[in-house]
Amino acid sequence: MKIILPIILLLFYNFSISQLTEGYIQYDIDVKAIDTLNSTKQKAALLRDSKMELYFAEKKIRIDFKMGQIYRSSIRINKSTNAAISLMDSRNGKYATLSYADEIKYNNPDTSAICSLINETKTILGFNCKKAIVTSAGKKSIYWYTTEIDLSNIENQFTNPILPGFPMKFSKEENGMMMTFTASNFMEKIKDKVNTFSTLPPKGYQISK
């Protein structure tokens, strides 16, 4: 079965690794309701304490989401073995979907999007960051990006090519909510690459066809 990456990964379309050969970045996710619907406010409340974790090494990538009390997911891609797995842990159970790495489908970015560079700076995790506003389909997303992390010249494609650097903080409006991702931890080495990038179904997961 083919794995289609979640819509939020549009923010990471065109990810690659140049200067760094491996690393780990954690993002804390702040979710706020921006419409007045009670259902949106309730969902935003369930999404408190959300985070995203990104692991990468040569020809390998893993992205984990913990979306509050709703679900946990993990996507692991190993180009060396052409294997991929998607894991979902929710109230409906634990499911694993197996695939080939070269079958992974990416959401195509909006080629009509406009990136406006703003003359503002801030420091995030010790990295010097600049501000950009990306306008796509009439909606604006604010990015704080750094050029001190260069991930631009290899196979795994996850960051938005319109952005002139790696995003350390960004906001995305989705389903009546504003989701703000802020890098909160960064490491240049991964201790256990074998288990971190394993594409074998963990114990307790049902294989989804």
Strands (E), 18-113: 23-33, 50-57, 60-67, 71-78, 83-90, 93-100
- pLDDT for res 105: 67
Does residue 2 sit within a domain?
no
- The CATH number covering residue 192 comes to 2.50.20.10
Phi, psi of 11 (to 5 degrees): -70, -15
Does residue 1 sit within a domain?
no
What secondary structure letter does DSSP report for 188? Answer: S
Per the structure, the count of domains in the chain is 1
- pLDDT for res 1: 47
Q: Which domain holds residue 130?
A: 7-207
- The H or E element containing residue 144 is strand 139-146
Model confidence, pTM? 0.83
Per-10-residue mean pLDDT, the chain, length 209: 46 44 89 90 90 89 92 93 95 94 71 90 94 88 86 50 85 88 92 94 90
